[in-house]
Structure 1
Amino acid sequence: MAQYILKRISYMILTLLVVIAMTFFLMRSIPGDPLASLARALPEQTKANFYAKYGLDKPLFQQYLIYMKNLLKGDLGESVVYAGRSVSETIVQTSPVSAAVGGLALIVGLIVGISLGIVAALYKNSWPDYLVMFIAILGITIPVFVLASLFQYFFSVKLGWLPTSGWGKPQHMVLPVIVLCFGTIATYARYIKSSMLEVLGQDYILTARAKGLSEFQVITRHVMRNSMLPAITILAGRIVGIFTGAFVVERMFSIPGIGFYYISSINNNDYSMTLGTTVFYAALFVVMQLIVDFVYMLVDPRIRLAGD
């Protein structure tokens, strides 16, 4: 077990290093720099001071080494566009907002999606199954920004039930949560239905029924547990998705989450902010992936660590 954990941590570190390097050099390959427009009207010496402050006057590889050295100290740098704003402080202040909206959307999506998937599997080729699959198709095919616009129009503009945008009150979370949970509902409804149908056709299910177990006991004791494995597989991606998938939603509903600042940093070529948030997302993903592997072993005793 210790060897396995060390091996996975090594892979995690390697993945993060690759992501950081790719993001760093790709950001530098974009034409222009974050100070080009800001320092345009300033004297030459002032411009030089600005570039020296953020290390943009040094060779590219030297900039990379300096960034990695600071990163090892836990310093993600300072925003280039918003002077005086620390990247670490921005992540600490904004990530709880994204987690609140996205986390609630994930919980709602999991509960509704798993429930709909179970209904679709138990009532295969009947109207409940067709209705669930129709909802799943809508959740997958309709873009988030279209769904958000429709909800804002009907529930805010036409009916006046909920605010169009803003933050600070419980009602501000309703529309963003509904919009965000649609993708999770659609994904889990399809996965759970497919997984349950596969498990229901296994020999041990026939054996359980032959022993006289009721259909409720068969479903709860045998089918449900083994059907959860595909759902756990995609859970890491969905957890990270509560941060990354909320970019457009946070923008459209004026939610001051981390996604809002991430999009702004990309548009403004804010190197430090883009790199810092990318490191945060990448670290979150690899950690969640490791946790999912352990949950896998807890849910299914048949899964054990092999020597290779």
Structure 2
Amino acid sequence: MFNALVVEKDEASGETAASVRQLALEDLPEGEVTVAVEYSTLNYKDGLCLGSGGGLVRRYPHVPGIDFAGTVEASDDDRYAPGDKVVLTGWRVGEAYWGGYAQKARVKADWLVPLPDGLDTRSAMAVGTAGFTAMLAVMALEDHGLVPGKGPVLVTGAAGGVGSVATAILGHLGYEVAAVTGRPEQEGYLRELGAARTVAREELAETVKRPLESETWAGCVDAVGGAMLARVLGQMIYGGSVAAVGLAGGTQLPATVIPFLLRGVNLLGIDSVMQPFDNRLRAWRRVARDLPMDRLEAMIRPAVLGDLPALGADILKGQVKGRVVVDVNG
């Protein structure tokens, strides 16, 4: 028997409730690899799945947790053997499939990545899906010509999970990071992560009629979308790129094509869920090399399974800073 955070739904009322329960190995779904989970994290999608499901959960009872790290316990796949350290993000695990909010998980071997040298399971989940997405964004910007010294790099939603890790990575790599936040009290936190300066959210939140403004940003990791993304596109330097990772500000994009046509601006979509294995491995190796662990530690808020229902509600309200690392055995 093992502990798991299980979300159940009352079919009559439609209400859901999450609680820690004991499950047996035979309760786990099919898969080639059984993992003894050590750590998971809390993400916005987890907050949805801990509550009403947000349309993400297919069937109940359900075990959320869109990422986890742990040790292989049993494997029917030659790529993994008992004792191997592994990490999982994406593939709709924790949404359509049972996830990491349990002491055991059983998944497809194709969904796993070997834990790279330089990371343990706790630090891997301090990175988690948010940090993995941040590294994909940085890699995409670099692949499109971003280098230190080209100009300041904007990070929107900088105090959130993706923004925090993006700020730390970019700062460590020598970029001049301008961190956007709507919470002035986070300035010290963001500077500790590596931001050279902060930008008040209000400065970028207003839609302007001009399709182009002064060339300001060499690159941008954008977790907000909406009107802010439209505004930022008009402020990019010639040939600059924006890596879009989120939609905290909405799904609409009230922009024109002028920045793309007159300044050669690139809008790069970043998806972490269905990334192919080779790019996943590349990203995790870059995380191990380029994310300073001391800065990562400053982001961590520890939690256990029983804390998650309340934290899930908090993250949906924008009240969670940095990275929540869940010790599923705590």
- TM-score (normalizing by structure 1): 0.22
Structure with larger RCO (C-alpha < 8 A, sep 6+): 1
- Decide which structure has the larger Cα Rg and report it: 1
Q: Which structure carries more helix by proportion? A: 1
- TM-score (normalizing by structure 2): 0.21
Q: Which structure carries more strand by proportion? A: 2
